[in-house]
Amino acid sequence: MSKPGPKENLIPGQEFDINKMFYRDYMVEYFDEKVILLVDLLSDSEEYVKRITSKELNVGNLKFKSDENANSNKLEKYAKCELVDTYYHCLETFMRLFIAHSSFEPCPLIEVTAIDTRQYHKIINQIARGNFENLNDKFSVDDTILLVLIGSKKDSNNVSEGQLSNLKNWIIFCAKELQKMNEYNSFKHGLSMFSGFGAMKATDPTTGEVLFSKEGDAIHILESKEDTKQYKFNLTNIFVEYDFKVILILFYNELIKNIINIGNFRYVTNDKDTRVSGLHFTEFDYFKLRDIFYKKGNIGSLLGSYGFPLIYEDDLIRNEIKKEDV
């Protein structure tokens, strides 16, 4: 028999103090500040090295000197890996806050904390398919999304159908990204994600014409993929457009700010002067935004990743059979 969850037998009346703490102390600028620090490092890594190696560093009673072997190349790799990690961290933060506030329960922090991994991924998979129906039984899908992100229902704001569609698409895109975050998990569990360069080209074997190609910044991970008879290791190279990643982090953090500001109004202050961001972010269309950062007309520019499986015994057996057939 499983133990009851943390919401079972909880004495009511504690929610207001928790809400007050949550909305007062929530770090709404966290992702903005982290992006600024990482982009600043990438903008002038040589100057950053000089700055940290030329002075004594201290925190509390601890004082120490930076590693004399620090160099710009190492720091750039660190910053790029951190940007990928921050991207998924930001998306997951947005999604968990969105799900918690979409329940319209008395204390969103309790909802954020109480949701288990299986339930979370079930909701993620539903949203990725465009299904928002199971978030609550109090409001329609449209009103749920607008109440959480804008602060008012569909019939009492100026959001057009196109803007509402954009919001839904951004939430769906977020869920789809969170379904394929192997690089994030690799980085968290053992720092087994590596920053580097990737290149791929496909040509017509008859004419030699280049069908599509792509080269640029990439990260490399070893992942497990399901094959016919077993799971097998695959060395995967994932292309990364860091500028696009930064834009998306800043965009989703604007949505996070709105959720927190609206939540503070709804659960704590009831202050009619509470201001949330304008509707400017509802005008962003993912595909139009993507085209700014990808080469138009080049199918290869949209290539996300490519990989190479490790060699297994059955691969060798198949090769031997082919030789015998020849």
292 burial (CB, 10 Å; 0-12 / 13-18 / 19+) is exposed
Note the pLDDT of residue 274.
Answer: 57
Note the pLDDT of residue 319.
Answer: 63
Rg (CA), the chain: 24
Q: Helices in 179-239 by DSSP H: which ranges? A: 182-188
Note the pLDDT of residue 204.
Answer: 83
Q: Are 100 and 106 in contact (CB under 8 A)?
A: no
Exposure string over 156-171, b if 16+ CB within 10 A, otherwise e:
eeebeeebbebbbebb
Nearest alpha-carbon partner for 175 in 82, 98, 86: 98
Q: Are 200 and 214 in contact (CB under 8 A)?
A: yes
Q: Helices in 179-229 by DSSP H: which ranges? A: 182-188
Note the pLDDT of residue 309.
Answer: 87
Cα(44)–Cα(39) distance, integer angstroms: 9
Cα(8)–Cα(304) distance, integer angstroms: 44
Instruction: Detail the DSSP E strand segments found in 227-309.
Output: 231-239, 305-309
DSSP string, 243-262: HHHHHHHHHHHHHHHHHHHH
pTM score, whole prediction: 0.88
Per-residue pLDDT of the chain (326 residues; tens, 9 = 90+): 678 888 888 888 899 999 999 999 999 999 999 999 999 999 999 988 888 888 888 999 998 888 777 788 989 999 999 999 999 999 999 999 999 999 999 999 999 999 999 999 999 999 999 999 999 999 999 999 999 998 888 877 778 888 899 999 999 999 999 998 888 888 888 888 888 888 888 888 888 888 777 888 898 999 988 888 889 999 999 889 899 899 999 999 999 999 999 999 999 987 655 556 656 667 777 777 777 766 655 556 667 888 888 988 887 766 665 555 55
Partnered with residue 221 across adjacent β-strands are 193, 236
Q: Mapping DSSP to helix (H, G, I), strand (E, B) and coil, where does residue 212 land?
A: strand
Q: Are 174 and 99 in contact (CB under 8 A)?
A: no
Cα(101)–Cα(136) distance, integer angstroms: 10
Note the pLDDT of residue 298.
Answer: 56
Per-domain residue ranges for the chain? 15-184+242-302
Note the pLDDT of residue 272.
Answer: 56
Cα(125)–Cα(189) distance, integer angstroms: 23
Cα(242)–Cα(107) distance, integer angstroms: 36
